[in-house]
Amino acid sequence: MSEYKGILVFSEQRDGDIHPISFELLGKAREIADKKKCEVYSVLLGYQMREKAKELIYFGADKVFLYDHPSLKEFDVINYKQNMVNLIREEKPEIVLIGATPLGRSLAPRIAAALKTGLTADCIDLQLDENGELIQVRPAFTGNLIAHIKTSTRPVMTTVRYKVFKARERDPTRKGDIVEKEVEIVKDAGVRVVRKEPVEVVNISDAEIIVSGGRGLKKPEDLKILEELANLLGGVVGASRPLVDEGWISKDHQVGFSGNIVRPKLYLACGISGSPQHLAGMRDSEIIVAINIDPSAPIFNVADYGIVGDLYEIIPKLIEKLKNRKRGVKG
């Protein structure tokens, strides 16, 4: 095990832009590496990405392994996997961090299987124990328990959810090395991109304003008043898990352990009691406003502003106030 050292962060890119989760992972990797007194590496696969590779150094990497080739411009899970496996076998990092994005969730298990190592998926925290070994924290049993996992194989591979860590401040004075690696091309990967189709999915994790509904809503059609309020505020609609389980709204709107972790500037919780699973997904919002008929609801413990009352009376008044404001009507 002593031959494994350092932390490797897979830096995801789409269409030449680095996904923000890459910077979040670099921030956490830097924190852990400073405690373990080891280096942080990043790996970037794509085409004409050298300038973007510098950004990874500015956000915490000591060394960036760059795989730059036309065949890597589009995500091909077989080619990406093969080059990642080659690098890990050469460099032997102790820890490998990958974002729990759709791309990362496709890539990580293939790498782990090829390396015959463990993989802990969808982590919400990473800690070090008294011996300096990584403890991976993730929800278990649909979010009802929090598991603390230690991996005995090397490297320790982990996928981490978006928005659970904060990126460091960009520091353009940081120095590091960019190492260009030879690309292995799997000629018959069995994957071919025919075309890209836009998919209407709400990226709720990036939203700055979220209006969320919970069990306080009486029927699916009532989500329309939340949607109207969200539109007036320039935000999106979120939901607690029960509404998703009932089929009232799609899972990409779900906030919580088993949904999405969010950090908006404003989180408006309407008829949400505040289960631990839900609170863990939104408690780091800058401003939390809760509307609930039950004054003892746990959501009020994390709210910056609380309104005890019926959402069916309060939200229409908020909507009317906002409409009047847009029309320039006082009062």
Please report, for the domain that includes residue 73, its CATH number.
3.40.50.620
Q: Are residues 173 and 211 in the same domain?
A: no
298 close to 279: Cβ distance less than 8 angstroms: yes
> How many other C-beta atoms are found inside a 10 Å radius of the C-beta of residue 3?
7
Q: Of 80, 92, 100, which Cα lies nearest the Cα of 193?
A: 80
The SS3 call for residue 298 is helix
**Count of the separate structural domains present in the chain:** 2
Asked if residue 210 and residue 176 are part of one domain, the reply reads no
Across the beta sheet with 134-140, the strand order is 125-128, 134-140, 145-149
Q: In this predicted structure, what is the pLDDT of residue 187?
A: 80
Regarding whether 291 and 162 lie in a shared domain, the answer is no
Residue with tokens 């919580």: 256
The answer as to whether 199 is a domain residue is no
pLDDT at 108: 98
Give the per-residue pLDDT at 200: 60
Within-domain flag for 303: yes
Residue 285 Cα to chain centre, angstroms: 14
Q: Are strands 134-140 and 145-149 parallel, antiparallel or unpaired?
A: antiparallel
Domain that holds residue 169: 7-180
Q: Which residue has the tokens 């981490």?
A: 160
Query: What is the rounded (10 degree) CA torsion for 276, 281, 286, 289?
Result: -60
CATH number for the domain spanning 294: value is: 3.40.50.1220
User: How remote is the C-alpha of 264 from its chain's centroid?
Assistant: 13
- So what's the pLDDT on residue 329? 67
Residue 137 confidence (pLDDT):
95
Looking at the structure, do residues 173 and 226 belong to the same domain, yes or no? no
Q: Are residues 147 and 208 both part of a single domain?
A: no
Q: What is the Cα 59 distance to its own chain's centre? A: 17
Q: Residues 15, 156: one domain? A: yes
Between CA 134 and CA 156 the distance in angstroms is 8
Regions of the chain where pLDDT drops below 50: none
Distance CA 265, CA 276 (A): 21
Structure tokens at 85: 């496996």
Output the pLDDT for position 272: 97
Query: Does residue 194 lie within any of the structural domains?
Result: no
Which of 180, 196, 213 finishes a domain?
180
Residues 143 and 78 in one domain: yes
What are 273-327's pLDDT values in tens digits? 999 889 989 999 999 999 999 999 999 999 999 999 999 999 999 999 999 988 8
Same-domain check for residues 176 and 213? no
For 274, the 3-state DSSP assignment is coil
- In the prediction, which pLDDT does 264 show? 96
For 170-206, the pLDDT digits (tens) are 999 999 999 999 999 988 767 776 776 666 667 899 9
Co-location of 155 and 18 in the same domain: yes
pLDDT at 24: 98
What's 246's DSSP letter? T
The residues facing 269 across adjacent strands are 212, 290
Kindly list the strands in the beta sheet with 287-292, ordered across the sheet, starting from the edge strand earlier in the chain. 236-239, 209-213, 266-270, 287-292, 305-308
